[in-house]
Structure 1
Amino acid sequence: MASQIQRKHRILCLHGNSSSAKILNQQVHRWPETVLEKLDLVFLDAPFPVEENPDFSEFTNFEECLAYLEDYMINNGPFDGFLGFSQGAMLSAALPGMQRDGLALTKVPKIKFLILISGGKFGGIKIGLPELTLTAFSVPLELPSLHIIGDLDRFRLESIELMEAFVDPFVIYHPEGHTIPKLDEKSLEVVFAFIERIQETIRADEARICLNEKSKL
């Protein structure tokens, strides 16, 4: 039991526009080892080439992207949560609602938490609304979420709007722009509090599953 409680949380990491799994890996590893040692991070390359000068008002290959994501999770999971940067954060943020509504990720375990960096909300400020995401934010999302928002980020308002779609979000503001920042002492306190929250959430979920299985015997 102790090993299960202390296990690392497996996280699928989605990069942003014109980026890659390798670049996101390098950026996230600017964080201190005291954080990284608690997380099992897996970085995934997007399946389609980026379109020139995207304005985020329309999204192509959306359903194909979701299918690619689910296939990867089936073959390489299970995963506990998502980390997304920029466009990767936009997609990550919508997945729990789509999964709840039976529109995506129906063959994999429930998403338990999110880390969203410089993200935005589908259907929000200057961001399009793919049909499958129409109801993704229809009710506040209650899973633990960590939002990292830059004061000079061009997506700052979008990130704040996204944060407001979650119940009791953890939030880190930093003085930089559209980037993955290093974590100062105050930010680290927020990160560790968030990790403690997701540990509690996963322990509670595992306990419920155990009780349900016992009741079937």
Structure 2
Amino acid sequence: MKHKAEKKLKVLCLHGYGYSGAYLKMRLQVWPSNVLQTMDFVFIDAPFPTHNKSFPAFSWFNSSPEDPGEYDRTFNESMALIEETMVKFGPFDGVLGFSQGAYIAAALPGMQAQGMALTKVEAIKFVVVISGGKLGGSKVPAPTLAKNAFTTLTEIPSLHCFGENDSFAKLPAIELLGSFVDPFVIFHSGGHEVPKLDEEGLKVMISFVNKIQATVSAHGLRSLL
């Protein structure tokens, strides 16, 4: 992994519930520098503040028994922000999400293919799903915009990272795998976190990045790894 890229892979990063873009940026530093250097990460904050007095914290969607429409309304506003960001700072090659942000990242290819989201930008070419699952699966219901996001298999390259001790996302993450064609999987021994890459995890990451580079070769990329 010593070669320079003519063009880095541009990736929009979506943080988890109760966190921020800055927090996710910090957590990704556990990955080796030669992996991080293959990508140009863009971090944004979700539009809805959460109650956290320790640090800035946000969410992408909320639900309330007192306001049945809150889930759709907040999800739709987040989708508008994501697309606005991609128009302004793009073009983007892919999307990475952690936890709540990973649920969105996983659904984006299907939503875009159906014309329900990201209609003003190029088709995303890959997704990275860290500790996330399927909107409309066993854990998180689907908002209206994403209700058909998984009616067909998603064929773009996908990397799925989840932990043996992740009580929140392990089962939803396994459930999600069936919605993707030939997903890359990093199954680690930790919990709800961005995992460090052990030898096996690094091999999977290298294979995934090489697959992405082949997918976006028309954009002037050559092999990095």
Query: Residue type of the partner of 1:161?
Result: E
Q: Secondary structure at the match of 1:24?
A: helix
The counterpart of 2:200, out of the listed 186, 201, 215, is 186
Q: Does 1:200 align with 2:214?
A: yes
| Structure-1-length-normalised TM-score | 0.88
2:44 corresponds to: 44
Distance 2:50 2:152 in 1: 31
TM superposition shift of 1:29: 0.9
Q: Does 1:68 align with 2:88?
A: no
1:146 corresponds to: 159
Q: Secondary structure at the match of 1:61?
A: helix
| Structure-2-length-normalised TM-score | 0.85
2:183 corresponds to: 169
What are structure 2's unaligned runs of at least 5 residues?
A: 53-61, 221-225
Distance 2:219 2:95 in 1: 19
Is the 1:14–1:89 contact (alpha carbons within 8 Å) kept by the matching residues of 2? Answer: yes
Query: Residue type of the partner of 2:39?
Result: L
User: Structure 1: which 4+ aligned runs deviate by more than 2 Å?
Assistant: 54-60
The residue correspondences of 1:94-173 to structure 2 (distance < 5 A) are 94-154=107-167, 155-173=169-187
Identity %: 49
Is the 1:56–1:128 contact (alpha carbons within 8 Å) kept by the matching residues of 2? Answer: no
Q: Secondary structure at the match of 2:48?
A: coil
What are structure 1's unaligned runs of at least 5 residues?
A: 208-217
Greater shift in the superposed pair: 126-135 or 143-152: 126-135
Equivalenced residue count is 203
Is the 1:56–1:126 contact (alpha carbons within 8 Å) kept by the matching residues of 2? Answer: no
Distance 1:114 1:197 in 2: 12
Q: Secondary structure at the match of 1:196?
A: helix
1:7–1:56 distance in 2 versus 1, CA, 3 Å: farther
Is the 1:118–1:150 contact (alpha carbons within 8 Å) kept by the matching residues of 2? Answer: yes
Distance 2:201 2:9 in 1: 19
Distance 1:56 1:6 in 2: 47
Distance 2:137 2:50 in 1: 21
Distance 1:32 1:56 in 2: 40
